Amino acid sequence: MLKSIGMTTKEFNKMIRLESFFYGMKSLLIGIPIGIVLSYLIFKALSSGSLMLKYELPIVGILISYNISIFTNILHNEVLDKQNKQTKHNRNNKKREYINDRDWKSPYLLI
């Protein structure tokens, strides 16, 4: 629909990449706090016996998951960008091949 009102393919692809990046960041901002709360609840449920354990926030695990998520998001966007460039290149080559084939193998050419 956005292409029909004048959005170019490059702008459309950029919008899709930014949208996927923002979805990833939004899921991190929602998922990490929910994971912390759930891990604390599980800890409390399992340590309600005679053991006196102290809950420690897994900061290293949170930072690792955050960095991996950002890395995979950026990598995914780069792969999509490369695929779009390759598709555009292939499309242009097919047009050239079609034009060359049509020029040289015209059925209307009488020899």
Token readout for 17 is 């990449």
In whole angstroms, give the CA distance from residue 29 to residue 34: 9
Question: Regarding predicted confidence, which is higher, 75 or 37?
Answer: 37
Whole-number pLDDT of residue 92: 61
Mean pLDDT of the chain: 77
pTM of the model: 0.57
Q: pLDDT higher for 55 or 86?
A: 55
- End-to-end CA distance of the chain: give it in Å, rounded: 49
* Angstrom distance (rounded) from CA 20 to CA 24: 6
Query: Percent of the chain at pLDDT above 70?
Result: 68
pLDDT at 20: 82
Q: Are 32 and 66 within 8 A, CB to CB?
A: yes
pLDDT tens-place string over residues 56-104: 888 998 899 889 988 888 888 778 777 766 666 566 666 555 555 555 5
Four-point Cα dihedral 16, 19, 21, 22, nearest 10: 180
For residue 90, give both structure tokens.
Answer: 């292939």
Q: Which two tokens stand for residue 111?
A: 């020899």
How far apart CA 76 and CA 43 sit, in angstroms, is: 35
pLDDT band at 30 (very low <50, low <70, confident <90, very high): very high
